[in-house]
Amino acid sequence: MVESPATNAPEVSVSELSGALKRAIEDQFGFVRVRGEVSGWRGPHSSGHCYFSLKDASARIDAVIWKGVYGRMRVRPEEGLEVIATGKITTFPGKSAYQIIVESIEPAGVGALLAQLEARRKMLAAEGLFDAGRKQLIPYLPEIIGVVTSPTGAVIRDILHRIADRFPRPVLVWPVRVQGDTSAVEIANAINGFNALPEAGLIPRPSVIIVARGGGSLEDLWSFNEEIVVRAAANSMIPLISAVGHETDWTLVDHAADLRAPTPTGAAEMCVPVRSELINQINDLARRHAGAAGRYLERRKAELRAAARALPAGEELISLPRQRLDQAGERLAGRLSAGMRERQIRLGSAAQKLARHSPQAECARVQEKLRSLGLRLEGALRGRARLELQTNEARRERLFSLHRRLEPALRTANRRRAERLAGLDNLMNSLSYKKVLTRGYALVRDTAGKPLRQAAGIGAGARLQVEFADGALGVTVNGGSAAAGKPRPAGAEKKQGTLF
């Protein structure tokens, strides 16, 4: 073994060294006044003591305010406040660190970081990035929730746990660093990346974005005050919720976001409702709806019963029309009988007139007139012969004149009578039932020669005569059909004066 070279320096323990350093520092620096910016202020600890730091552009020193001193202070520290602290420098052997025990604090003006933050806030506000009109509504129940935060911190676990408790929804995490030199660029790229996702792409596009980080000092949260992050949040087309730090922490991204949550857990609660509360609300609405529907139906039933009581009974409604129908039926039978009798009388009168003016009677009258005219003609001819024997020239001339007039008159009278005779013959033919038979009809008679108008009353085996336009047939009724006999010539039927 190689032995260490001998030395005259005495050996001391770690505790002895730490104590010597403590005494040297406390002797060298008694009470000092230190100017710096309060950083990491979280208020009194559970013990009542306050722990924070004082810093400037290039250095930092830990500071402690004991519980008794803090209660007597008129000016109390605030995050970012530039102060002048009066106290005693000492060491903390357990950490090999030095610190200042603050006895009093007086303000020294707004810190550099806060001044820079305020100037940036005014500039971005002047551009309208914080206007309320730019805010979007947060969806009531988003399909996908995007989270921009560190994947290893407690923040993401709190968000996932809170969403799972309230209403489980798919969560898409974009991992970023939330502190450090490149953290601002990563956060802005994450917000822009979520907005660049297509609606129906392989990676689903979130319905809402949560930008979250746990608590920290102003320097720790400074990435969320960077201009690139604020502009990305303001330009996001997806509704964005900021959840940076604790409730007392404010960053510029909180002003640009559509909604600010006091904590990351609060952001999860703002994203989704409580599923059990929704179920209870829906059940309550369903019960209220069922009750309202039942009450509405009961009210409508009562109105219907009231309307039914006001209406007359059905029998009463149809009794008067039924009575009028019965009376009309009785009058109809009488009117039908009267109408039939009236038409029978008119038909009989027409038949009598037709019989008086039948072609035979008219021909007989015309023949009688012709015979009378012939007799008169013969007499006239005889008179003419007598007149020819007369020697009186005047009578001869008159006879010749009458002769000349007689012949045209006879021809005219004969022509008129011939025309009238032809008209009567045409009328007789048009009124004859045989004219009807030529159109395809048939006349059915019984064995007595009586025309039959209905099939009712004709039994099976009955013999009938069916007359057509070109002859007649004898038929026998056999159920629904008739057996035909030999056709008879057209002249074999009995003479019938009228179809009726």
Token pair for residue 467? 């007359």
- d(C-alpha 139, C-alpha 162), whole Å: 17
Domain ranges of the chain: 14-110, 116-273, 356-431, 435-492
Q: Are 75 and 151 in contact (CB under 8 A)?
A: no
pLDDT at 4: 55
- d(C-alpha 180, C-alpha 178), whole Å: 7
> Parallel, antiparallel, or unpaired for β 463-468 and 443-445?
antiparallel
Q: Are 421 and 363 in contact (CB under 8 A)?
A: yes
pLDDT at 494: 47
Task: Please check whether the domain covering 116-273 is classified as CATH 3.30.70.270.
Answer: no
Which residues have a Cβ under 8 Å from the Cβ of 225 and sit 6 or more positions away? Answer: 117, 120, 251, 252, 253
For 77, 354, 431, 432, the CA distances from 498, given in Å and listed in that order, are 139, 10, 9, 7
- d(C-alpha 465, C-alpha 294), whole Å: 79
- d(C-alpha 416, C-alpha 369), whole Å: 13
- d(C-alpha 56, C-alpha 109), whole Å: 13
pLDDT at 485: 47
- d(C-alpha 243, C-alpha 150), whole Å: 13
pLDDT at 500: 42
Token pair for residue 437? 């038979």
pLDDT at 3: 55
Query: Do the first three CATH levels of 14-110 and 116-273 match, i.e. the same topology?
Result: no
- d(C-alpha 475, C-alpha 481), whole Å: 9
Strands (E), 154-307: 171-175, 208-213, 240-244, 259-260
Chunked in runs of 10, what are the mean pLDDT values of the chain (500 residues)?
A: 60 72 70 87 88 88 90 77 85 78 76 74 91 91 93 90 92 91 90 92 92 84 90 94 86 92 91 88 92 93 85 75 83 84 86 75 83 86 72 70 83 88 82 76 83 79 84 80 49 48
Question: Under CATH, which number does the domain 14-110 receive?
Answer: 2.40.50.140
b vs e for 94-125, b when ≥16 Cβ sit within 10 Å of the residue's Cβ? eeeeebbebebbeeeeebebbeebeeebeebe
pLDDT at 296: 94
